[in-house]
Amino acid sequence: MCLFTESGLGLKRRNHDHDEQQIEDDILPEFKEYSFEDLRIATSDFSDANILSGQGDKAPNVVYKGKLSNNRWIAIKRFNKSDWPDSNQFLEEAKAVGQLRNERLANLIGCCCENDEKLLVAELMPNYTLANHLFHWETQPMKWTMRLRVALYLAEALEYCSSKGRTLYHDLNSYRVLFDKNGNPRLSCFGLMKNSRDGKSYSTNLAFTPPEYLKTGKITQESVVYSFGTLLLDLLSGKHIPPSHALDLIGDGNNFQTLVDSCLESHFPNDDGAELVGLASRCLQYEAHDRPNVKSLVTTLTCLQKEIEVPSYALMGIPHEPASPRKPLLPLSPLGNACSRMDLNAIHEILQNVGYMDDEGVTNELSFQIWTSQMQECLISKRHGDTAFRAKDFSAAIDCYTQFMEGGTIISPTVWARRCLCYLMVEMGQEALGDAMQAQVISPDWPTALYLQAASLFSLAMEKDAHETLREGTTLEAKKSNIKS
């Protein structure tokens, strides 16, 4: 039986109260540009004691750990001064990678580009690399179940990146795989950036380089699958064996036991080993078109998973502090319930019936005498948008509401809320989330804005954050009800 697991996104994007001092590790800030001074202070002037990888100042592209003024721990990659001569290209690449947010990635949260300094800022993963746990373990070898989980999570990371248009990953290897505080493996976002002056460098070890790169100097998504195959060999053998040598040992695939890590001591089914070797062999095919795609990697590896209820930190033997218990969820209002079920028709009916009464003051503004032709044009656009909204012509409603917003003379959170639902109706979840957040900015005490944010997050498969936003919406609505009563 194939056991499927859901992968949500560990992203938060709302502002918290100003008096909240402690940062939750799973709340990711939006991508930002840091000053060099910020990062110099965070790393104690790039102290050798803070080096995570590299050989000091003389080594290129050293990675440091650092701590920002808000107590967030970060990883900072400092490029060699001769790399990235084009500052605009560096910023464009960093910002593009910084838009990715996934719990399978060690996400990029910022960069710095000042003079000849180029640095990337990412989440800090405190539990070392896959290379440490596979090749240099001190307490216990990695269990077979965990090795299968690592393979799946990495495949899911690559599939997510591919779905966002980032199909290339440079030099995928066991040092690019990091473990977070919960022991879950994550793929370093640094490999999504070009890693040399001309962006063509792929691997530092020719024995592990895809054959097409050696012939043409170009990489493709199939090249990344080839490198994924070398990682499968690492997981199977506990060694970093060149693919050609490993394939010679395997032969026709029936002799995979010669490749298996002796630390496993047969603590895994032979069928699993044969399946993993077979998958690695397909990934390592000489011709790129003979290799599987990332989606099929996820499908195959999902079916091999075991002990899915056991957390990674337990399988890894990593100490773990239990999370603080959450407050129980209050009963949902009709709108909250509709958003939790993603019943877009019910949401539409509620927003239409409520009208503009939740704008808390905007209603009166809309009823004022029209003083200028610009205001009149804005209100005409809004009126046409409402007509299209009632008729469920959501594309037309988006156009009309956009014209109203661009007029700039009247600000209405309800218009943002209605356009948010229109975007959800046409499957534009990211745009819907932006509108719901803007509605909250305009009217911070309006629960509807939070409920629509939750619906938008559900549409983006961000289950964890959607439920947390529902919780905030119900808490706010209960608070407002108590004040009124």
Q: Where are the domains of the chain?
A: 32-123, 130-316, 334-484
* 369 vs 346: CA distance, rounded Å: 34
Say which residue, 173 or 10, is predicted with more confidence: 173
Helices and strands in the chain: count of H runs, count of E runs: 19, 9
Task: Evaluate if residue 122 carries a pLDDT over 90.
Answer: yes
* 423 vs 429: CA distance, rounded Å: 7
DSSP 8-state assignment for residue 51: E
Nearest by Cα to 469 from 439, 442, 426: 439
User: For 37-64, what is the mean pLDDT?
Assistant: 80
334-484 is a CATH 1.10.8.10 domain = no
Task: Evaluate if residue 400 carries a pLDDT over 60.
Answer: yes
Q: Which of 55-59, 333-337, 417-421 has the highest mean pLDDT?
A: 417-421
Task: Evaluate if residue 199 carries a pLDDT over 50.
Answer: no
Task: Evaluate if residue 242 carries a pLDDT over 70.
Answer: yes
Beta strands in 162-278 (DSSP E): 177-179, 185-188
| CA 482 from centre of chain | 38
Nearest by Cα to 234 from 134, 138, 143, 324: 134
Contact status, residue 449 vs residue 417, Cβ threshold 8 Å: yes
Task: Evaluate if residue 66 carries a pLDDT over 50.
Answer: yes
Q: Which of 38, 83, 171, 180 is catalytic?
A: 171
Nearest by Cα to 425 from 388, 450, 381: 388
Assigned superfamily of 130-316: Transferase(Phosphotransferase) domain 1 (1.10.510.10)
The pLDDT of residue 330 is 63
32-123 is a CATH 3.40.50.2000 domain = no
Instruction: Say whether 171 is catalytic.
Output: yes
Tokens of 283: 């990934």
232 CB contacts (<8 Å, ≥6 apart)?
151, 276, 279, 280, 283
Beta strands in 107-176 (DSSP E): 108-114, 117-123
Provide the CB-side half-sphere exposure for 364 (13 A, CA).
Answer: 2
User: For 255-259, what is the mean pLDDT?
Assistant: 74
Beta-strand relationship, 185-188 and 105-106: parallel
What confidence category does residue 484 fall into, taking pLDDT thresholds of 50, 70 and 90? low
124 CB contacts (<8 Å, ≥6 apart)?
65, 73, 74, 75
* 95 vs 51: CA distance, rounded Å: 24
- Average pLDDT for the chain: 82
Which phi and psi (to 5°) does residue 200 adopt?
Answer: -105, -15
Task: Evaluate if residue 13 carries a pLDDT over 80.
Answer: no
